[in-house]
Amino acid sequence: MKLMNQGKVYLNRLADCSLLLVLFSQFLWGTNFNTPFPRIGVVTFGDQFIGEEIWKGHDLVINRPSTDLSTRLKQKKSDVINLAATDDLVENDGLGGDLPADWHVKKVNGERVFAGEGWWMNISDYCPRRDFVYKGENYAAMIAREFFAEYFKRTLDWNLYDGVFFDSWASSIRYIGSQYDSIDFDQNGIADNQEGNDLADQRWQTGNQKLADEFHNRLPAGKMVAAHEAGPSEAIFLNGLGDEGWTGGSWQWTYDNLWIPYQINGPQPHVNFVEVQGNKNSFQRMRYGRDGLPHRRLCRRR
């Protein structure tokens, strides 16, 4: 099977917990990026959702930063790929503290831009530099994207983690509807898209790359930066793609424009996965993802 030979990653997800079949990775230090096929993993956004019984035989774990969980995980399986999950590009108290108020993406009228789950953080070149104290730590003259990378550098034990994984990643911001044409990154009183065609999206996409660069530059060498729903253009600067909610459509386009570019481009090591939604009434979809009901025993809300 062509896709299996190319070494991709598959995933089944239920609510906040996901089971992955990890099929491609590369070797780095003590972490095993080249395990035999099939490669199994789990994604969860709260350590209470994942029990140690799920770790057995798994090669990839993506979870909210937890020193306790990661210590136990590495003690039991030292070569596991362990990524720290974050959705902090959208401020919804994910970091557990207050960030500068003028770090939000703003409209011409000064209102913040809502991104479905919270307020979008301004990762563009026009984010104001601020001195502030966060969780008892001083951060001097920083913009948002610098802070995110520096915060993770200081906070996590990088002997336990192999990189970060962005859940609330936006490859483009054109999808947000009427808000899009009123975005004013530089707060000069003129909507960016009035100053140039899709200028707002260009500024956002430039910020995406510089955000990834900040993490690569500040974290120890070889640490990964991967993201949910990244697009083709990000394959040159991200280590991996989490293809969320794929139901089997547009196979050839997805294969040619996402999975293969993320295999061969960008910084190494590479780790990619596909979230496959199984359907008990579709044999094709059942081949790539199992019906979610059995996972309730392993991944349930508390």
Residue 81: closest CA among 45, 32, 43? 32
Please say if the pLDDT value at position 14 is more than 50: no
Q: Kindly indicate the confidence band of residue 62, based on its pLDDT and cuts at 50, 70 and 90.
A: confident
pLDDT, tens digit, for every residue of 209-263? 999 999 999 999 999 999 988 999 999 999 998 887 766 677 788 888 888 899 8
What pLDDT score does 181 carry?
96
Whether the ω angle into residue 36 lies within 30 degrees of 0, i.e. cis, is no
Residue 135's CB is within 10 A of a number of other CB atoms, namely: 10
pLDDT, tens digit, for every residue of 142-167? 999 999 999 999 999 999 999 999 98
What pLDDT score does 276 carry?
62
Question: Measured between alpha carbons, how far is 290 from 278 in angstroms, rounded to an integer?
Answer: 5
CA atoms within 13 A on the CB side of 96: 7
What pLDDT score does 92 carry?
58
What pLDDT score does 29 carry?
37
Q: Nearest 5 degrees, angle CA 15-CA 230-CA 260?
A: 110
